[in-house]
Amino acid sequence: MQTAREFNFDGLVGPSHNYAGLSFGNVASFSNVKSASNPKQAALQGLAKMHALAVRGFAQALLPPQARPNFRLLRAIGFTGTDADVLARAYRESPVILACAYSASPMWTANAATVSPSSDTFDGRAHFTAANLNNKLHRADEHAQSTRTLRALFGDERHFAVHDALPSTPAFGDEGAANHTRLCASHGGKGVELFVYGRVEFDPSAPSPKKYPARQTLEASQAIARLHGLDAARTVFSSQNPDVIDQGVFHNDVIAVGNGNVLFYHEQAFHDESAVLAKLRTAMDGVGAVLDPVRVDTNLVSVADAVASYLFNSQLLTKSDGKMALVIPQECQENLAVARYLEQLVASGGPVDELIHFDLRQSMRNGGGPACLRLRVALTDVEAGAMHQGVIMTEALYATLVDWVGKYYRDQLEPKDLADPQLAIECQGALEELTRILGLPGLYDLT
C-alpha cells in the first residue's frame, strides 16, 4: 500500500458571487433571493478557510472560478450583438436567465465531480467524472469548464482519467461528490465507495420526494461506478430518505459525511438505515476496516436544525494523531441544539475530538457550507507530484490571492448590477490575471 493524503480542493469564489434564488429545494438559496452579496468578503472567507487548514498541515489546494457571465449560454438562447447588447437585452427580457449566466455556483466544488482514488479503480488510476448538474439551468453548463479544469490539473494520463459528464438528461441527474463518500482504513488502501441517490428513473415505485426535486439518480451513480471501474464488492448504493429532501436536504452532504472508518450522519438521512449500515459493514470487512457510525438522533438535533446549521455539511479531517477534527460553519455554534450536541460529541471520547469553525456566511446564504466548498481527492505521493502544482495552497499563494481579490472584487453586488457591462469586464480581467498566478494559461475557453 502506498502512502496517500486526502487533498481538499476548495472552490475559489468568483468576482460575481451573488444571490439569485435559483435553487428550488435549497432553503437558504430561496430565502436570500435578491439580497445584496459581498463578493470580496465571500472570496476572503473561503481563502481564510483554505489557509487555516493548510497551516494546520492538511493537504489543501483550490479549483479556480468559472468564467462569468456565461456568454455561451446567453448567445445560445438568442441574445446577440456586442457583449454589452447581450447583457442589456438579457436583463430586460429575462433577468433570471442573466442571473443563471452569472451564477456563483461553481464555487461549491463538491458538485464539480465524483472522484475515485487509484486504490479503488480497475486500472490503478485516479478517476474523475465531471457532474452534469442537469437539475438546474444555472448549473447545467458547469461541467464543460469543470472537465477542462480537471484535465488541466490532472492531465497526466499515466495517473489520472478525467471523464466527460454523463449524458445531460434527467435519467442521469448527477451532482458529483455531494452524494458520494468513501470509507476506508487509510486513504492509500482500498476503500468502500458509498453512493447516495434521491430517485430511480426506471423504477417509479422507488422512494422519491414529493415537494422538492431529487437531483441524483441511481442510474447516474451506477454509471459512475462503471466508468471508474469500481469493484462491486466495495461499492454501496443507498437511497436517501425522500422525506428529508422535502425538508431542504437537497444533497446528501447536508445530512451525512464520512471519512476514514467514520460515518457521521443523522438518524433520518437514509431510506433504510439498517440496510445501509449492514452493507457498509460487510464491504468494509473486505478492506480490513470496521465501521464507526456516529449517529445523531432527531431528539438531539432535528432535521430543521441540521439544515439551518449545516452541522453535517462539515469536513471530517484526520489529524496526525489519528483523531478527527470537524470543520463547521459558525452557524453551528449559534444554534442552541447543535452547539449543545457538539459539546457532547467532542467530550464523548469518540473519533472527533476537535471543532474548527469558520465564518462562511457569504457561502452559507446560498446554501453552501464547508463541505460544499471542497472536492476531496485522495492522492498517493507520486500522484500528488504529478498534478499541476500551481493550485496548492501555500503562504505565498494565499498572500497573492488576497491581493488579487482586493484588486478586482467588489464589496457589494445587487441584482441590478448584473446588467452593468463593466462587471463583465472586471470579471474577465480578474480571471486573466488568475491564470497567470496559477500557471494555467488557456484554462478558459473564451471563444
| Residues with active-site annotation | 175, 251, 372
Interface with ligand SUG: number of residues (CB under 6 A): 23
Q: How far apart are CA 426 and CA 423, in angstroms?
A: 5
Q: CB of residue 27 vs ligand SUG: minimum separation in angstroms?
A: 10
* Residue (87 or 384) nearer to ligand SUG, CB: 87
Q: Does 216 bind ligand SUG (CB under 6 A)?
A: no
Our CA angle for 217, 221, 227, nearest 5°, is 140
Q: Does 68 bind ligand SUG (CB under 6 A)?
A: no
Q: Does 383 bind ligand SUG (CB under 6 A)?
A: no
Selected from 8, 16, 23, 70, the binder of ligand SUG by CB under 6 A is 23
Q: Does 318 bind ligand SUG (CB under 6 A)?
A: no
**Binding range to ligand SUG, per CB under 6 A, among 56-64, 158-166, 246-254, 267-275:** 246-254
Q: Does 27 bind ligand SUG (CB under 6 A)?
A: no
Selected from 16, 103, 129, 362, the binder of ligand SUG by CB under 6 A is 103
Q: All 3 cell numbers of residue 214?
A: 431529487
Q: How far apart are CA 187 and CA 318, in angstroms?
A: 10
* Residue (96 or 339) nearer to ligand SUG, CB: 96
Q: CB of residue 310 vs ligand SUG: minimum separation in angstroms?
A: 9
Q: CB of residue 307 vs ligand SUG: minimum separation in angstroms?
A: 11
Q: Does 129 bind ligand SUG (CB under 6 A)?
A: no
Q: Report which residue type is found at 220.
A: A
Q: Does 418 bind ligand SUG (CB under 6 A)?
A: no
Selected from 12, 13, 22, 153, the binder of ligand SUG by CB under 6 A is 22
Q: Does 431 bind ligand SUG (CB under 6 A)?
A: no
Contacts of 232 (CB under 8 A, 6+ apart): none
Task: Indicate the burial class of 248 (C-beta count within 10 angstroms; 0-12, 13-18, 19 or more).
Answer: buried
Q: Does 251 bind ligand SUG (CB under 6 A)?
A: yes
Q: Does 86 bind ligand SUG (CB under 6 A)?
A: no
* Residue (68 or 139) nearer to ligand SUG, CB: 139
User: What x-and-dash track marks residues 134-173 binding ligand SUG by CB under 6 A?
Assistant: -----x----------------------------------
User: What x-and-dash track marks residues 357-376 binding ligand SUG by CB under 6 A?
Assistant: ---------xxx---x----
Long-range contacts of 226-230 (CB under 8 A, 24+ apart): 227/127, 227/129, 227/163, 228/114, 228/116, 228/120, 228/121, 228/122, 228/127, 228/129, 229/121, 229/122, 229/123, 229/127, 230/116, 230/120, 230/121, 230/122, 230/193
Q: CB of residue 2 vs ligand SUG: minimum separation in angstroms?
A: 29
* Residue (49 or 234) nearer to ligand SUG, CB: 49
Q: Does 108 bind ligand SUG (CB under 6 A)?
A: yes
* Residue (11 or 117) nearer to ligand SUG, CB: 11
Q: Report which residue type is found at 399.
A: A
**Binding range to ligand SUG, per CB under 6 A, among 106-114, 205-213, 222-230, 416-424:** 106-114
Q: Does 309 bind ligand SUG (CB under 6 A)?
A: no
* Residue (338 or 384) nearer to ligand SUG, CB: 338
Q: Does 113 bind ligand SUG (CB under 6 A)?
A: no
Q: Minimal CA–CA distance to 284: which of 379, 351, 190? A: 190
What residues numbered 253-272 form the site for ligand SUG, per CB under 6 A?
A: 253-254
Q: All 3 cell numbers of residue 380?
A: 498517493
Selected from 13, 20, 113, 249, the binder of ligand SUG by CB under 6 A is 20
Residues of this chain that bind ligand SUG (CB under 6 A): 19-23, 26, 29, 103-105, 108, 110-111, 139, 178, 250-251, 253-254, 366-368, 372
